[in-house]
Amino acid sequence: MKIYGYARCSTNEDKQDINRQIRELKAAGADEVVFEYEHGDAKVKKELHMLLDMAASGDTIITLEVSRLSRSTQQLCEILDIVKEKHLRLMIVGSITIDCRNGEVDPMSKAFLEMSGVFAELELSMIRARVRSGMQNARDKGRKIGRPQTTKDDIPAIFYKHYPAFAAGNMNVSELARICGLSRPTVYKYLRIIG
């Protein structure tokens, strides 16, 4: 029987540190921790699905909060169905354990988990409403929302230095991106701007 930990952050490692979750999951007994950067209500969480596929009957999956698994009640119920079907144990550290290793779900535990999912979904809706309200407030004050429009003046000098070789056909987009230290999508964006 193996104990898997599952950690998730909404944004990439530059903005959120997932290491705290990994440390706490290992301290809670996880033999192996699977993690990913994905939004809580994303329809597809590749690493979570891979973990659910990989887990064998009798294994345990632990996570720190219900919202790490999903912020959608429907998705949470689907995960619970898989846990039951595969005879797994799902443990929310410091909260609740759903033990389906005998193929059954305790009704009280299931209800508690589903209610936790409802609150996680509600929290996400409230966060989104606050963000929309804040953005509208900023617009009403005359502020521009979103990324500023890139202009020719924003393109770095190194791009202009190597652009003539690209225009002459002496290098392709990948080479131009590598020499300039840029990503290919950024190079394509600059090419459209100077078009």
| Span 70-87, pLDDT tens digits | 888 888 889 999 999 999
Q: Give the whole-angstrom CA distance, residue 11 versus residue 37.
A: 6
pLDDT in tens, 8-18: 988 765 556 78
**C-beta neighbour count of 55 within 10 angstroms:** 22
What confidence score (pLDDT) does residue 44 get? 83
What confidence score (pLDDT) does residue 123 get? 85
CA angle 135, 145, 177 (to 5 degrees): 140
Q: What does the DSSP 8-state code read for residue 55?
A: -
Residue 32: which pLDDT band, with cuts at 50, 70 and 90?
very high
Q: Is the pLDDT of residue 180 over 80?
A: yes
Helices vs strands, H then E, count in the chain = 8, 5
What confidence score (pLDDT) does residue 106 get? 83
What confidence score (pLDDT) does residue 49 get? 93
pTM for the full predicted model:
0.64
pLDDT in tens, 104-124: 888 888 888 888 888 888 888
Average pLDDT over residues 136-140: 89
